[in-house]
């Protein structure tokens, strides 16, 4: 199987090489992908044709920006196996994430932007799309309609570039934000890799945040085997509900055992997945990198 990998120029220290790989890189700071190896991924029709010429069998997004690019290229060339567009949009657009997880029981109480939240605070105000927690605000108490609109305005400004990309992917449709009820409990990172519909899950990590919930400053492995297994099952349930396949996945999961909720979803590995240690999948060398796993027949 020949793989196509789409990732930022600075994503990995050493560029993967081999007859079984082709890479499309994104230039850091450009805001959009540039041609370094392969075509310009913003030209979806040309990218799809180029991937066919390269005899690529499966296309994997390795970054946030590449998620929808890969899904669109595969839509134009059904012979290429890749993340379905429905799943890609669920990872890029928070409203689609919530509707996609509705039947899985993994949503916190939530409502659309512009509606008065029918649940008690704290509230988490989220822009339609963001990355690295940009575009997210927490309100400790109830907000008036005007104050809530102002909070959404700030969130949107911080996540402007991500919202612009999402709007383009939606064909000009104006994406809307959401309000969620803050989920009390520990937060975990649940990640793995899908080859087709077969998942290999990394051992989950507990995220340690600063006192104001602004950033993660440390990750700890989950040592309790029952808790680890429950988190892996939460990730598998979420991935199935969203229709994920042919991708890495990374879920932010928060709550208490028996009551976990998915906070965010990504069709790529987390920033620190290289330090996860062992994999939960049987027969997989714990030292294998994500790309090594993808290359395994």
Q: Which domains does the chain carry?
A: 3-82 (no CATH), 109-181 (no CATH), 186-295 (3.30.470.20)
Q: Tokens 């690529």 — which residue?
A: 56
Tokens of 163: 């919202």
**CB-CB neighbours of 284 under 10 Å:** 16
What would the pLDDT profile of 182-191 be if each residue is shown by its tens digit?
Answer: 999 999 989 8
What would the pLDDT profile of 203-257 be if each residue is shown by its tens digit?
Answer: 888 888 777 766 777 888 888 989 999 999 999 999 999 999 888 888 999 999 9
pLDDT at 38 over 70: no
Q: Is 160 helix (H, G, I), strand (E, B) or coil?
A: helix
- Outline where DSSP puts E strands in the chain: 3-8, 21-26, 58-61, 81-82, 110-112, 123-126, 136-139, 178-181, 186-195, 198-201, 205-209, 216-221, 247-255, 261-266
For the segment 130-159, the average pLDDT, to the nearest whole number, is: 89
User: What's the full length of the chain, in residues?
Assistant: 297
Q: What is the percent of the chain where pLDDT is above 90? A: 37
pLDDT of residue 270: 63
Q: What is the pTM of this model?
A: 0.83
What would the pLDDT profile of 269-295 be if each residue is shown by its tens digit?
Answer: 665 444 444 444 434 443 445 556 666
CA distance to 192, 216, 272, per residue, from 204 (Å): 9, 15, 11
Nearest to 219 by CA among 261, 191, 241, 244: 191
Q: Rounded to 5 degrees, what are φ and ψ at 69?
A: -55, -45
Q: Rounded to 5 degrees, what are φ and ψ at 20?
A: -95, 10
């Amino acid at each position: 199987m020949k793989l196509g990998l789409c990732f930022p120029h600075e994503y990995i220290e050493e560029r993967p090489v081999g007859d079984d790989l082709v890479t499309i890189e994104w230039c850091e700071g450009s805001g959009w992908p540039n041609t370094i190896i392969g075509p310009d991924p913003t030209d979806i029709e040309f990218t799809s044709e180029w991937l066919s010429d390269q005899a690529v069998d499966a296309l994997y997004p390795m970054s946030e920006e590449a998620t929808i690019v890969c899904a669109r290229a595969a839509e134009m060339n059904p012979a290429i196996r890749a993340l379905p567009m429905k799943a890609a949009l669920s990872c890029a657009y928070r409203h689609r994430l919530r509707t996609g997880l509705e039947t899985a029981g993994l949503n916190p109480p939530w409502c659309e932007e512009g509606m008065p939240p029918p649940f008690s605070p704290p509230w988490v105000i989220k822009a339609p799309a963001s990355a690295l927690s940009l575009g997210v605000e927490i309100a400790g108490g109830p907000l008036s309609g005007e104050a809530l609109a102002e909070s959404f305005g700030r969130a949107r400004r911080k996540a402007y570039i991500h919202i612009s990309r999402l709007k383009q992917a939606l064909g000009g449709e104006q994406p809307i934000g959401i309000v969620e009820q803050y989920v009390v409990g520990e937060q975990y990172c649940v990640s793995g890799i899908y080859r087709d519909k077969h998942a290999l899950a990394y051992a989950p990590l507990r995220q340690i945040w600063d006192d104001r919930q602004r950033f993660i400053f440390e990750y700890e492995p989950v040592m309790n085997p029952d808790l680890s297994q429950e988190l892996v099952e939460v990730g598998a349930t979420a991935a199935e509900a969203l229709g994920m396949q042919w991708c890495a996945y990374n879920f932010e999961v928060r709550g208490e055992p028996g009551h976990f909720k998915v906070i965010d979803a990504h069709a790529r590995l987390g920033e620190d997945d290289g330090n996860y240690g062992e994999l939960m999948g049987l027969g997989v060398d714990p030292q294998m990198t994500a790309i090594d796993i993808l290359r395994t027949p």
